[in-house]
Structure 1
Amino acid sequence: MRFVKTFPLLFSLGAALGSANAWALLTDRDQPIRVQADSAELDDKQGVAVYTGGVVITQGTMKITGDKVTITQTPDGQVDQFTSVGKPAYYEQQPAPGKELVKAYGLTLHYFAPKNQIVLIDQAKVIQEGNTFEGEKVVYDTVRQLVNAGRATGAKVTVPRPRIDMVIQPKKKDGQ
């Protein structure tokens, strides 16, 4: 790997990230991607970019933050996966026009672009329309807006949670 300090290389990676159709609302994917970090490393042969130091990635209504973000690409330049590690790593996105932002937290956040899936591990939490889902591991489908929470088997967690914790808000009735 070589250390990259130039803006053009960061901009090129941002353009490649923009080709990941599943990242955001339909209108979000047409927006430019902005990556901010203290440093970046890019390995073109392996298709891996590593950003460190207060990383912030935005595209339209989508925002991802972490202390270290690793992005992998397929051989044809499509985003395959990224992993954000932080205290906590964070994701937010507006799922549809007029809807509240979905917010997700975890010490480790994996985004699998082909599956439209976010996997949060260790102190994992998703907030969706006022409902909260917490556990050692939370899986969120960004397209279908489905949440699955449970134990993080095989993963080392800092705060073991043998049970999930969910808070579901009552639906408002017409006229309220």
Structure 2
Amino acid sequence: MSRWLPWTLIGLFASLPLAAFDLQSDAPIAVSADNARLDDAKGVATYTGDVVVTQNQTQLAADRVVLYRDAEGLKRIEAYGEPARYRQPATAEQAETRARARTIIYAARDSEITFKEQAVIEQGANLFRGEHILYDTAERVVTAEGGQTGDGSPGRVEMIIQPNAPSGTGNQP
């Protein structure tokens, strides 16, 4: 039985700029790492050791990152770490977004970002925490699972929303 708890977070995530990397942009995606293995025939590039992926000011940092390409271009980014970290800078409308999880998967064509294991998304003073968070960037819907506790009972999802924020911080729900 699924323990998914759907949340449509109008205030916190309705305008969340968590669109990840813009694969339609002309801005290059830069990757730096200690090691790289490129398998051109399979369209897979694996980077290990202090990996940093950057496009403009959006950044993903992890122990290991795998990029998947096909004839149409980059289609998927998987990041693994203790934890892997994602950061998207503030805009005029929104505070900086920071996220972390042991696994972060960006599936561009599915318009989904998945955060697995000890997942936390913070935007300004707002926070969303769960064991598994799925963000549908097209529909702007967040679905979260709390995981299981030590005694096998369902875990919880935690959300902290600031009821009032100073003008211009982008933290108002």
Residue 163 (1) aligns with residue 141 (2): no
Identify the match of residue 80 of structure 1 among 56, 63, 75: 75
> How much does 1:25 deviate?
9.8
Letter aligned with residue 125 of structure 2: G
Task: Deviation per CA, 1:89-119: give whole Å up to 9, x if none.
Answer: 0111137445322111100111111123210
Secondary structure, in 3 states, of the residue corresponding to 2:156?
A: coil
Could you state the TM-score of these two structures normalised by the residue count of structure 1? Answer: 0.71
Work out whether residues 117 and 142 of structure 1, in 8 Å CA contact, stay in contact via their aligned partners in 2: yes
Counterpart in the other structure of 2:110: 115
Structure 2: runs of 5+ lacking an equivalent = 1-18, 168-173
Asked if the contact 1:133–1:149 (Cα under 8 Å) also holds between the matched residues in 2, the reply is no
Alignment partners' CA distance in 1, 2:122 and 2:28: 26
Note the alpha carbon deviations across 1:143-164, whole angstroms, 9 max, x for none.
Answer: 56543221459xxxxxx97111
For 2:85, the aligned partner's letter is: Y
1:54 offset after TM fit, Å? 0.3
Which blocks of at least 5 consecutive residues in structure 1 are unaligned?
1-20, 154-159
Question: In structure 2, do the counterparts of structure 1 residues 91 and 25 end up closer, same or farther at CA, with 3 Å as the change threshold?
Answer: same
Q: Give me the whole-angstrom Cα distance separating, in 2, the residues matched to 1:119 and 1:52.
A: 20
Aligned equivalent of 1:31, options 23, 27, 31: 27
Aligned residues: 145
| 1:136 equivalenced with 2:131 (yes/no) | yes
CA distance in 1, matches of 2:126, 2:104: 20
Task: Flag the 1:104–1:146 CA change in 2: closer, same or farther, 3 A.
Answer: farther
Structure of higher RCO (CA pairs closer than 8 Å, 6+ residues apart): 2
Provide TM-score, normalisation by structure 2: 0.72
Superposed structure 1 runs of 4+ greater than 2 Å apart: 29-33, 94-99, 140-148, 171-174
Whole-angstrom distance in 2 between the partners of 1:126 and 1:145: 14
Residue 147 to residue 113, structure 1, CA distance change in 2 (3 Å): same
Which structure has the highest helix share of the two? Answer: 1
Residue deviations 1:64-91 (CA, integer Å, cap 9, x gap): 11000011112x1411111100010011
CA distance 1:67–1:173, shift in 2 (3 Å): closer
> Aligned letter for 2:160?
V
- Superposition map of 1:1-176 within 5 A: 23-24=21-22, 29-74=25-70, 76-94=71-89, 96-97=91-92, 99-142=94-137, 146-151=141-146, 162-172=155-165
CA spacing shift, 1:90–1:173, aligned 2, 3 Å: closer
Q: Give yes or no for contact 2:87–2:96 (8 Å, CA) kept in 1.
A: yes
Aligned 8 A contact 2:147 2:154 in 1:
no
Quick one: percent identity of the two aligned structures? Answer: 35
